[in-house]
Structure 1
Amino acid sequence: MRRLVRYLMAVVVAIGLAGSAGPAAAAASAQPRFTALVFSKTAAFRHDSIPAGVAAIRQLGAEHNFTVDATEDASAFTDANLARYDVVVWLSTTGDVLNEQQQNAFKRYIRSGGGYAGIHAASDTEYDWPWYGRLVGAYFRDHPGSVNAQFQVATVNVLGRDTPATRPLPRDWDREEEWYNFRTNPRHTVRVLAEVDERTYDPRGYSVPGGSPGMGAHHPVSWCQPYDGGRAFYTAMGHKSEYYSDPLLLAHLYGGIRMAAGVTPFHCGS
């Protein structure tokens, strides 16, 4: 409904301008394809890469004609303000970032058909809010802990070629990352888009002396799902600032944001 209203308003404006100022003015007035709010408030660990992530998403918006607003102010989570956006991108948020009133506004936003895109530490957020845990799909548990193991090159197995988040990627994608282990494996409740192959790196996490185990043969790092009336996409990738200059990661993020915004087919379950 939000997109339909904006679209109809854009058509009226474009027709009026086309009649009065010609095709060039009509083209210049074209409405953005969708609107995104990037939310990056942190109440625990703060990633240095947040500014780079915000800048990268803004650049994607400029290149692909969608509007990007960014905030770390939780007071933006009101019914009236959230209704302006097709997708809310939680960029490396951590800890308890919303109060109960703001949480309820975000619930209503998702239940009215809104979109959620979580990036990296979005899964390290709101541990005491079970609804959010189900929305993101799984909570962060740990990552490889030693200095040498925290960032490792590993092979990502890209599953399926029928989504915008996976279509631009190689089937076997070798890249460096801080590879998250999760408290639970969401693969039975979400559509997994990519898994990291634990045979290609040391997955042992820091939370247990001597190293906690990885997640086994099926270690998801990106997934999507319909949830409580809305759409959700999550990727664990995106720790370092320089990663946001990687064309493949940017293509993955752009595809996932589009999916969550509802402007492209959402092949993530019924």
Structure 2
Amino acid sequence: MQIKSKLLTLALLIGISFSVFSQGGAQYRVLVFSKTAGFRHQSIPEGVAAVKKLGQEQGFGVYVTEDANQFTDENLAKYDVVVLLSTTGTILNEAQKAAFQKYVQSGKGVVGIHSATDTEYEWPWYNKMIGAYFLAHPRQQTLRLQVKDKSHPSTWHLPDNWLWFDELYEFREINPAIKVLINADETTYEPAKPMGANHPMAWYHEFDGGRVFYTALGHVESAWKNEAFLQHVHGGIWYAAKGKLPK
């Protein structure tokens, strides 16, 4: 029993050491923030687990919180990317908003996933930063996604026409400066409030000194087990962290 106990202790120590080493050698550090003050998506746990797994596989550190008190100048300075994972409603107070704004202005990255556009409706800076506000969605459907720009790391791997099932967002107050990556083909599904031929579903832009990537996909739990979608998210995180695009 003593031998087994010592072996177990040794194994735990090795595991802890490896964890510290792998985080210490991370290419960059990602803070996943999934606080909700409105609707809470069932897919959040799957999303958190998937981003953690991406970090393990792709060599970046992942830290997860729903505590808005982590949004201070000192704490945010530790991270290269903040991932807003299906956040909803008003999630930050005025001091936390100021810290987040400084973080972006310092040249850092933001990734918004799905309902990150259903967040902070009374903060104009956030609207321009994330790129749009949620307007409506129909029932979940399969549609044709048109990949408009394959020069971005989030879309390098995708087909020109991507058949996809999800909760399909429609938007208002779209920032005209965003660079659209993926468009929804409204002729292939039944929208709630049609946007017409220009219906963005994923985009990126440089904003106020930082880099922002957003994808409206990821409502359904199954999305977080789809390899093409996971590569899409990984490419967005990598862009937000590194800012590297082909010349």
Q: Which runs of 5+ in 1 are unaligned?
A: 1-24, 145-149, 205-212
**Aligned partner of residue 154 in structure 1, secondary structure:** strand
Aligned partner of 1:119 among 109, 113, 120: 113
CA contact (8 A) 1:178 1:237 kept: yes
TM-score (norm 2): 0.89
Per the alignment, residue 244 of structure 1 pairs with: 224
Per the alignment, residue 17 of structure 1 pairs with: none
Change (3 A) 1:266 1:56: farther
By how many angstroms is 1:240 displaced?
1.1
Per the alignment, residue 196 of structure 1 pairs with: 184
Partners in 2 of 1:71 and 1:253 — Cα distance?
A: 19
TM-score (norm 1): 0.81
By how many angstroms is 1:263 displaced?
5.5
For 1:189, give the aligned amino acid: A
CA contact (8 A) 2:154 2:232 kept: yes
Partners in 2 of 1:156 and 1:227 — Cα distance?
A: 25
For 2:96, give the aligned amino acid: Q
For 1:190, give the aligned amino acid: I
For 1:202, give the aligned amino acid: E
Q: CA-atom RMSD, angstroms?
A: 1.5
Partners in 2 of 1:242 and 1:162 — Cα distance?
A: 26
By how many angstroms is 1:160 displaced?
1.9
Partners in 2 of 1:262 and 1:239 — Cα distance?
A: 26
CA contact (8 A) 2:29 2:78 kept: yes
Per the alignment, residue 21 of structure 1 pairs with: none
Per the alignment, residue 201 of structure 2 pairs with: 221
Partners in 1 of 2:244 and 2:199 — Cα distance?
A: 26
Listed as ranges, the matches of 1:230-269 within 5 Å are 230-262=210-242, 264-265=244-245
Higher mean C-alpha displacement, 113-122 vs 158-167: 158-167
Partners in 1 of 2:239 and 2:115 — Cα distance?
A: 20
Runs of 4+ in 1 over 3 A off after TM superposition: none
Listed as ranges, the matches of 1:95-244 within 5 Å are 95-144=89-138, 150-186=139-175, 188-204=176-192, 213-244=193-224
By how many angstroms is 1:114 displaced?
1.0
CA contact (8 A) 2:80 2:108 kept: yes
**Aligned partner of residue 226 in structure 1, secondary structure:** strand
For 1:241, give the aligned amino acid: E
By how many angstroms is 1:178 displaced?
0.6
By how many angstroms is 1:65 displaced?
0.3
By how many angstroms is 1:189 displaced?
1.3
**Aligned partner of residue 115 in structure 2, secondary structure:** helix
For 1:107, give the aligned amino acid: Q
Q: Are residue 39 (structure 1) and residue 33 (structure 2) matched?
A: yes
Partners in 2 of 1:92 and 1:166 — Cα distance?
A: 21
1:21-78 per-position Cα deviation (integer Å, ceiling 9, x unaligned): xxxx9xx677111110000000000001000000000000000000000000000000
- Identity, in percent, stands at 49
CA contact (8 A) 2:157 2:228 kept: yes
Partners in 2 of 1:257 and 1:123 — Cα distance?
A: 17
CA contact (8 A) 1:259 1:266 kept: no
